[in-house]
Amino acid sequence: MSFSRTALRSASRSVFASAVRVKAPLRNATHARYNSSAPPPPPKNNSLIYAAVGVALLGGGYYYYTTNAVKPTPAAIPKPFVPTYEDYKKVYSKIADTLEAGDYDDGSYGPVLIRLAWHASGTYDAKTNTGGSSGATMRFLPESGHGANNGLDVARKVLEPIHAEFPWISYGDLWTLGGVCAVQELGGPTIKWRPGRADAEASACTPDGRLPDGAKGSDHIRDIFYRMGFNDQEIVALVGAHALGRCHPDRSGFDGPWTFAPTYLTNDFYTLLLNDKWHWKKWNGPAQFEDDKTKSLMMLPADMALVKDKNFKKYVETYAKSQDAFFEDFSKAFGKLLELGVSFKPGQESWEFPTTS
């Protein structure tokens, strides 16, 4: 009996000791895991996370600004100035205000402004498509010094302050609008006009000899005007502008007015040329005619050619009988003259300006 209890206690201690020996290595292994000489894992790098967050915040801020910030309205963006009819009408009115000139010729700059527009346009050559009012090359030598342009510095100086006030207008447009204004304000017909002439440099000056020579006859007249694209009827109508103004010995060499009312456009040039008696003037200047009755009027050899040439003469007779016919044809021919060689923008309409007087 005592042997049995002793054996049981001995067996129990053996089992317990075995259990202790099994658990001990487990505790030691766990302890060894936390006290090993191997380094712990490195801490995680958060800089990439912060950068990603920053980019997201910046992107969100930019999106908010672009979608919610106050944007400039189209009206706040300056637009290039595009002159309208009303702007050109102001220029016309300013030219009209400058026409009266008590100390110049017969009291008006009108005739010399018409001559400027005429000579700026009459250099056109249809074959080469050079010359004409687009370019305004009479601002430069040698064209300003051509004999046919003597005295036109007066007209250019008259218009220069207007160009300074309206610097957006080209000289070509200003000079031709000056001619339109002068014709209308001096009692002539309405002339349709449109803008679009671009100024050029001195290199575009036209050669001398393209304008009519008052000392020559019908062959020369046709050569000059046919080169521009005019026919006989248009030639006679355009020469009717000689009803205005006068010749000056220090410019063309000729002297005197064509009519008794050189500041008012009528058909008097034709009636006087056709119906009055004329003779060669005896003087020291170039050959010209003077009227028998008053000896105060003049005609150029080129003027007399219009009644010596049969085809020209029939139009002289038409215009001498009817001022309305003259005005109608002159308006068309003068408007055509002012547009020779000009490249207008598509759709640019022609305008009419009311007279101020």
Please check whether residue 278 is in contact with residue 290, taking contact to mean a CB–CB distance below 8 angstroms: yes
Name the residues annotated as catalytic.
119, 258
Q: Report which of residues 63 and 219 the model is more confident about.
A: 219
Cα–Cα distance for residue pair 108/126, rounded to 1 Å: 33
Question: Residue 127 and residue 105: Cα distance in Å, rounded?
Answer: 38
222 DSSP 8-state letter: H
Upstream peptide bond of 78 is cis (omega within 30 degrees of 0): no
Q: Does residue 109 contact residue 98 with C-beta atoms inside 8 Å?
A: yes
pLDDT digits (tens, 9 = 90+) for 280-307: 999 999 999 999 999 999 999 999 999 9
Task: Provide CB contacts within 8 A for 147, sequence distance 6+.
Answer: 208, 252
Question: In this predicted model, which residue has the larger pLDDT, 77 or 163?
Answer: 163
User: In this predicted structure, what is the pLDDT of residue 45?
Assistant: 55
Take residue 19 and report the two structure tokens written for it: 């259990």
Q: Specify the pLDDT at position 314.
A: 99
Question: With contact defined as beta carbons under 8 Å apart, do 117 and 176 qualify?
Answer: yes
pLDDT at 79: 85
Q: Are 276 and 234 in contact (CB under 8 A)?
A: no
Q: How far is CA 107 from the centre of its chain?
A: 32
Please check the confidence at residue 17 and state whether its pLDDT lies above 50.
no
Report the distance separating Cα 139 and Cα 127, nearest Å. 24
Question: In the structure, what pLDDT confidence band is assigned to residue 77 with cuts at 50, 70 and 90?
Answer: confident
Could you tell me what percent of the chain has a pLDDT over 70? Answer: 79
* pLDDT, tens digit, 9 for 90 and up, residues 167-184: 999 999 999 999 999 999
- What is the structure's pLDDT at 78? 78
Mean pLDDT, all residues of the chain: 87
Tell me, what's the pLDDT at 20? 37
Q: Which two tokens stand for residue 133?
A: 């009012």
Q: Can you name the CATH fold of 85-339? A: Peroxidase; domain 2 (1.10.420)
Interstrand relation of 246-247 and 289-291 (parallel, antiparallel or unpaired): unpaired
Query: What burial class does residue 56 get, using C-beta atoms within 10 Å of its C-beta: 0-12 exposed, 13-18 middle, 19+ buried?
Result: exposed
Would you say 159 and 133 are in contact if contact means Cβ atoms under 8 Å apart?
A: no
Tell which residue, 114, 198, 206, has the closest CA to residue 151. Answer: 114
| Residue 43: per-residue pLDDT | 52
What are the helix (H) ranges across 80-196? Answer: 85-98, 110-121, 153-165, 171-185
E strands in the chain? 246-247, 256-257, 278-280, 289-291, 298-299
Tokens representing 232? 């006989």
pLDDT at 23: 43
Half-sphere exposure of 211 (CA within 13 A, CB side): 22
**141 three-class SS:** coil
- pLDDT tens digits, 116-147: 999 999 999 999 999 999 999 999 999 999 99
What confidence tens digit (pLDDT) does each residue in 182-198 have? Answer: 999 999 999 999 999 99
Contacts of residue 220, defined as CB under 8 A and 6 or more positions apart, other chains included, come to: 212, 213, 302
Mean pLDDT calculated for residue range 147-155: 98
What CA–CA distance (Å, rounded) separates 205 from 140? 7
249 vs 155, 213, 216, 240, CA distance in Å? 18, 15, 17, 21
Do 248 and 112 contact (CB within 8 A), yes or no?
no
CB 32: neighbour CB atoms within 10 A?
10
Answer whether residue 204 shows pLDDT above 90: yes
Q: How far apart are the first and last CA of the chain?
A: 159
